[in-house]
A and B are shown apart, each in its own frame.
Chain A
Amino acid sequence: MTILAFILAGTLAAATPLLLAALGELITERAGVLNLGIEGMMALGAAVGFVVTYNTHAPVLGFAAAALAGLALSLVFAMLALGFMANQVAAGLAIGVLGLGLSSLIGKPLESQTLDAPAKLAIPLLADLPVIGALFEQDLVVFLTLALAVVIWAVLNHSKLGLIIRAVGENPSAARALGFRVLRIRLAAVAFGGAMAGMAGAYASTIYTPLWADGMIAGRGWIAVALVVFGTWAAGRIVFGALLFGALSLGGLIAQAAGVALPSQLLASLPYGVTILMLAVISSNRRRMRLNTVASLGQPFAG
């Protein structure tokens, strides 16, 4: 495989955990809830997914357990943010700290253990193409995640369910007047986001880098939250953003291919620096932000 093909293939894999978490957060935020605990839920999912896969040798069980763990933690968030009408920023941070702590606690006994990387699937014909063929030889989750992105786009924009979710996020009082149970819909949206973040963590720890190291999520949950802002709450643009960050996280490989030697710390900082840059560029268009931002985002609703 040439280095270019390697980068192409790696970009999709690196983008997958970001995309899974960001798509979940998209639904949560579209329903009007700001969950900043994604990093913690991803970390918990990563630990639970790793421990279960390590012990059962069944990646599917690992993913399921991770989804449940993320979901459970998101329910704690929902209890605070929806049940007790707590400040959503503070509640998200609390969940983040809790998730990171639980993640280290659970992963501790398996520090530095590894898993077998799962087999890759090649799409017939397409995978045989020169150079870009590598794009079509990925693990199953990559394909499923991309398919899910399409489903989420379709549901949000072209289905009754999507209309309800958006209504609850844009104007919860009106949605309730129409007879929708705002808190229940928000609860479901938060739970979905939690399960997705949990699976995003499991992908990172069991497939992308199948090795347990404490703190391995390393800000990816936060980048996922930022991706929802860059994508201005639209699934298509979020996919694009995730691919960009997937490529950035391969900065080391790309720099090597270009023949430049840079300090590894500079390369590691690259995604964070670009996140700041993109936030500034996209948010500076205040008109577009106002048009796209979910109107009731982060505001508690007394049900």
Chain B
Amino acid sequence: MKITFERRAALSRPVLFAAPVIALSLAMLTSLILFAALGKPAGQALYSLLLEPFVGWYNISEVLLKMGPLMLIAQGLAIGFRANVFNIGAEGQLIIGALCASALPVYFPEGSSPLMLPAMIAMGALGGAAWAGIAAGLRVRFNANEILVTLMLTLIATQVLNYLLLGPWKDPHGFNFPQSVTFPDAALLPILLTGTRVNISLLAALLVSALAYVMMRHRFSGYQLLVGGLAPRAARYAGFTEARAVWVSLLLGGLMAGLAGACEVAGPLGQLQRSVSTGYGYSAIIVAYLGGLNPLGIVVSAFLMAALFIGGDNAMVSADLPVAAVFVFQGLLLVFYLASLTFIRHRVILNWTRRA
């Protein structure tokens, strides 16, 4: 038997929606087997991972809390991924964004100006964009691969964070913990849903998603970006350049990640910590792909991934699973999704006659 893939003239709609569901089911099945092989209560683990996040208002609100940054970052990354500009350093851009936003409350811990919060948000977003901008500049000017540069910048950002929290920015009354002072009220985002930790950054993330959708569907700029990245030569003849696709993709990606970082320190954390990001920057890559690089799809996949994060926390307690289990699950999810994506783009033809 010979299996061949024939490229479809148009993407298959039914498969487009089925692919994430199939990927999720296969990832569940595989991890079930894997957890069982490791001697963990597999059923309990899967229940904690996938269902418990939706049991009770508190769990749901925590999912919404995690969904914000994932959605924000993934929307930014998807712009680049659609144009074949691969920013995989959102984690570092988030950290730098969080750092820049924290500078104000760290140096003015008693500050009460109503301008403090907007300034922090702006500094965070700009900081993230600037960090990603380094990669854009190096790619455009020196042809340096943005995948490697953004990743290296993330590793450096982590060291900068460690340096500040172990040294100059360490809370002098913090019992030597590597964390900053707790922020004053003027540096904190207002709560959106009373009684929970969900703040108004969720609205911002949804707004950004709507904007991303409009930009992709209805604006010429979105189209230019796509062509600039996908077919640099064709784009140049048409008057827009690969360089612009690189700049726009990386700056917007960095901006969103920086914004997410600022919203974390001004939101649920209320201070700068070493664990300012629990892998949001990396998970957002998976969120972007699972959402089909589509702004609306990303809203759904961000919700799913956020649930997985909360589920992972639950599973740590109830099924004695390490945090890493979440990453295994995420990796499996993307593996199966990429495999099922093939069926969106291709028709599978089984040929039973043997080749002569």
Contact = CB atoms under 8 A, between A and B. Distances in A.
A254 interface: no
Interface string B143-156: 11101110111011
Contacts of A289: 143
B149 A93 contact: no
A112 interface: no
Contact of B152 (A85, A105, A222): A222
A284 B334 contact: no
B38 interface: yes
Contacts of B17: none
B41 to A, nearest CB: 15
Contacts of A272: 152-153, 155-156, 159
Interface string B130-158: 00000000100111110111011101100
Q: Using C-beta atoms within 8 Å of the partner chain, give the interface range for chain B.
A: 35 or more
Given A97-B286, A99-B331, A104-B322, A86 B156 contact: no
A93 B339 contact: no
Contact of B328 (A36, A85, A105, A218): A105
Contacts of A97: 282, 286, 327, 330-331, 334
Nearest to B148: A226
Interface string A145-189: 000000000000000000000000000000000000000000000
A265 B159 contact: yes
Given A93-B285, A100-B327, A265-B160, A80 B338 contact: yes
B323 interface: yes
Residue of B86, B156, B166, B329 with most chain A CB atoms under a 10 A cut-off: B156
Contacts of B322: 104-105, 108
B163 to A, nearest CB: 4
A280 B144 contact: yes
A95 interface: yes
A302 B342 CA distance: 12
Interface string A265-298: 1101100110110011101101001000000000
B325 interface: yes
Chain A contact residues: over half helix, strand or loop, or mixed?
helix
Interface of B is mostly: helix
Given A85-B342, A108-B324, A276-B149, A95 B335 contact: yes
Contacts of A269: 155-156, 159-160
B167 interface: yes
B289 A95 contact: no
Contact of B88 (A93, A214, A279): A93
Interface in A70-105: 76, 79-80, 84-87, 89-91, 93-105
Contacts of A281: 142
Interface in A92-138: 93-105, 108
Nearest to A226: B148
A77 to B, nearest CB: 9
B177 interface: no
B275 to A, nearest CB: 13
B304 interface: no
B143 A94 contact: no
Contact of B148 (A98, A225, A286): A225
Contacts of A86: 338-339, 341-342
A98 B346 CA distance: 26
A42 interface: no
A95 B341 CA distance: 16
A26 B328 CA distance: 27
Given A84-B342, A91-B338, A263-B163, A275 B152 contact: yes
Contact of B335 (A87, A98, A103, A108): A98
Interface of B: 5, 38, 86, 88, 138, 141-145, 147-149, 151-153, 155-156, 159-160, 162-163, 166-167, 282, 285-286, 289, 322-332, 334-335, 338-339, 341-342, 346
Chain A to chain B: the 8 pairs with minimum beta-carbon distance, closest first: A98-B331, A101-B327, A104-B324, A101-B328, A94-B334, A97-B331, A280-B142, A265-B163
Given A93-B334, A222-B152, A289-B143, 8 more contacts: A86-B342, A87-B338, A90-B334, A95-B331, A97-B331, A98-B328, A214-B324, A284-B142
